[in-house]
Amino acid sequence: MSFQELCESDFHSRLAASPGVAVVMFAGPHCGACKRLEKLLPAWLGNQVDHLYKIDAQKSTGLARAYEVFHLPGLFVFVNGRYHAPLSAEAAPGPMLAALERLLREPAREEP
């Protein structure tokens, strides 16, 4: 599994058509941490997610503002096309997977 690109024009429609669990990463072209996570998250979360999406926060500034992305990378979880929660954890396999599993047991939060 690898990241698929999203942008402001297809964000809502593609997520709505994405059954299961999706992780959306807001990233930047010069963000080293973003590039690292883009390479590692598929292996870390591949068994727990159905879709991985990436948004260039510099090109999709409206979405970045709407989701209150202040630091890159910004990770968000969607379930069956609907917002579930932000994903925040240490950038390591164990903490990232544990955070995702915890979020999926909790009720969905209100979309920013």
Domain CATH number, residue 29:
3.40.30.10
Q: What is the pTM of this model?
A: 0.95
The pLDDT value recorded for residue 65 is 96
Q: Is 64 inside any structural domain?
A: yes
CA 24 to chain centroid, in Å, comes to 2
pLDDT greater than 90 at residue 46: no
Query: Residues 85-102: what's their mean pLDDT?
Result: 96
Q: Are 106 and 79 in contact (CB under 8 A)?
A: no
The pLDDT value recorded for residue 97 is 95
Q: Is 87 helix (H, G, I), strand (E, B) or coil?
A: strand
Q: Is 35 inside any structural domain?
A: yes
Distance CA 27, CA 80 (A): 22
Taking only the tens place, the pLDDT of each residue in 15-24 is: 999 999 999 9
Q: Is 23 inside any structural domain?
A: yes
Q: Is 70 helix (H, G, I), strand (E, B) or coil?
A: coil
pLDDT greater than 90 at residue 1: no
Q: Is 65 inside any structural domain?
A: yes
**Mean pLDDT of all residues in the chain?**
95
State the residue range of the domain holding 54: 4-105
C-alpha gyration radius of the chain = 13
The pLDDT value recorded for residue 12 is 94
Q: Is 110 inside any structural domain?
A: no
Count up the domains in the chain and report the number. 1
Q: Is 75 inside any structural domain?
A: yes
